[in-house]
Amino acid sequence: MSVDTIVIGAGQAGLATGHHLAKQGISFEILEAGQRIGQSWRDRWKSLRLFTPVQYSALPGMSHSNSHSDKGYLRKDEFADYLEEYASQFELPVRLGVRVERLTRTADGFEVVTSAGSINAHNVVLATGPNALPHIPAFAATIDPSITQLHSSEYVDPASIPDGNVLVVGAGTSGAEIALELAATHRVTLAGRPTAHIPDPVFTYAGAAYWAFISSVLTVKTPIGRRVAKAFHASGAPLIRISMKQVESAGVSRKPRLMGAADAESSAPTTIIWATGFTPDLSWLPDLPLGPGGYPTSVRGEVTDVPGLFLVGMPFQFGLTSGLIGGVGRDAEWIVKRIAHTRHAERSTVNTL
Ligand SMILES: Cc1cc2nc3c(=O)[nH]c(=O)nc-3n(C[C@H](O)[C@H](O)[C@H](O)COP(=O)(O)OP(=O)(O)OC[C@H]3O[C@@H](n4cnc5c(N)ncnc54)[C@H](O)[C@@H]3O)c2cc1C
């Protein structure tokens, strides 16, 4: 079997790419390991609401219905449903339950080896997401084994956490939100250096101007954007909606960044929740030089030295909004234009031979 372009992953990045491929009339398939579109959102903790306001949480070509637009922040399952509706509305060719296991280069593209056989394609777009593998510091293995440890990706709700003190490690948005929720039922300590906070009024009253600023100015094309990119890769995305003040007012104690096991044990926790981020899982790709965040080195997602291989959905791929729902469409469009441009150039060469 052969198609022009294979997109791997049917999360928001893969679906936005599919939308633009369809608009350009390029033949493609989206391969998704999961059994359902939006599964990565459904698997997140029960009470999770998007931290980006509803008007900045849509993909190209389909805004949220009016019934959603008055809610401010969508629940995670509402957004997962939206992704399913998106694929259906644009009749995107998604094959569920097909995992890509290997990618090899061929004379004119790639052989994509999957759990359901091989496919040949001229182009491959990796949209497998930045959150595949939980990142936990190595010293966690030396912590007293009587303490329950879990990663934020395994957290469900307060009822699933044993009684006693909880140490949440990582003061980014996930850590802050989980600490705040647990403060109602547990004694909670939050460890870590907080990232910058975007105050609510910024989005509420200056939303459009603010979004325009972070989308257009904070990109790898501007000096300030490049500075922000460095800070982003070093210390994570800014807190949106939730603030440390809110977390502290709820009774959560604060602790600086942990330096080792003894530090973690000092607040006598019964449970430790590691909200320490993720790494992508691209172990099945051929060996390629890796850039920031563990992704193959690329220019705006066009992988360097591997013609036809692209990335979409990588944090700060082009700008601060690249890893966000409202920003992924721009990167998808750019990648698809590159694919269309290369096809056009190849056809012109053939026609002039
Ligand atoms: C807790 C949390 C809250 C967030 N909240 C927001 C928010 O409010 N607003 C916002 O803009 N962003 C938010 N984000 C950031 C971002 O929008 C999400 O991480 C989003 O899920 C990323 O979408 P994606 O399509 O890049 O990856 P994913 O949603 O992870 O989708 C990738 C897909 O690829 C599939 N896949 C992976 N490997 C393979 C393979 N080998 N073969 C086939 N399929 C494969 C997976 O099954 C998955 O379905 C949040 C992130 C987290 C962790």
DSSP string, 16-81: HHHHHHHHHT--EEEEESSSSTTHHHHTS-TT-B-SS-GGGS-BTTB---HHHHTSSS-BHHHHHH
Residue of 12, 29, 40 best suited for mutating to test ligand 1, as the one with most atoms within 8 Å of CB: 40
End-to-end Cα separation, the chain, in angstroms: 28
**Which residues in the chain land under pLDDT 50?**
none
How far apart CA 269 and CA 245 sit, in angstroms, is: 23
Residues in the chain: 353
Whole-number Å distance, alpha carbon 17 to ligand 1 midpoint, is 14
Place of tokens 């993720």: 278
Torsion, Cα 50 54 56 58, to 10 degrees, reads 90
In this predicted structure, what is the pLDDT of residue 203? Answer: 61
Atom of ligand 1 nearest to the CA of 14: 25
Residue of 131, 157, 281, 316 best suited for mutating to test ligand 1, as the one with most atoms within 8 Å of CB: 131
Q: Which residues pair with 73 in a beta bridge?
A: none
How far apart CA 214 and CA 318 sit, in angstroms, is: 11
Residue of 112, 128, 232, 324 best suited for mutating to test ligand 1, as the one with most atoms within 8 Å of CB: 128
Nearest to 51 by CA among 195, 226, 217, 248: 195
In this predicted structure, what is the pLDDT of residue 123? Answer: 97
In this predicted structure, what is the pLDDT of residue 295? Answer: 87
Whole-number Å distance, alpha carbon 11 to ligand 1 midpoint, is 6
Atom of ligand 1 nearest to the CA of 327: 11
Whole-number Å distance, alpha carbon 327 to ligand 1 midpoint, is 13
Residue nearest to atom 17 of ligand 1 (CA): 324
Whole-number Å distance, alpha carbon 187 to ligand 1 midpoint, is 31
Whole-number Å distance, alpha carbon 268 to ligand 1 midpoint, is 34
Residue nearest to atom 25 of ligand 1 (CA): 11
Whole-number Å distance, alpha carbon 124 to ligand 1 midpoint, is 18
In this predicted structure, what is the pLDDT of residue 218? Answer: 84
Contact 86, 59 (CB under 8 A): yes
Q: Which residue segments constitute the domains of the chain, with CATH numbers given?
A: 2-132+280-352 (3.50.50.60), 137-274 (3.50.50.60)
Whole-number Å distance, alpha carbon 23 to ligand 1 midpoint, is 23
Residue of 17, 19, 32 best suited for mutating to test ligand 1, as the one with most atoms within 8 Å of CB: 32
Q: Ligand 1 pocket by C-beta < 6 Å: which residues?
A: 8-14, 31-34, 39-40, 44, 50-52, 57, 99-100, 127-129, 131, 174, 313, 323-326
Residue nearest to atom 6 of ligand 1 (CA): 50
In this predicted structure, what is the pLDDT of residue 53? Answer: 87
In this predicted structure, what is the pLDDT of residue 344? Answer: 66
Whole-number Å distance, alpha carbon 129 to ligand 1 midpoint, is 5
Residue nearest to atom 30 of ligand 1 (CA): 129
Main-chain dihedrals φ then ψ at residue 86, nearest 5 degrees = -60, -50
In this predicted structure, what is the pLDDT of residue 238? Answer: 64
Residue of 324, 328, 335 best suited for mutating to test ligand 1, as the one with most atoms within 8 Å of CB: 324
**Cβ partners under 8 Å of residue 13, min gap 6:** 127, 129, 312, 313, 328, 331, 332
**Cβ partners under 8 Å of residue 344, min gap 6:** none
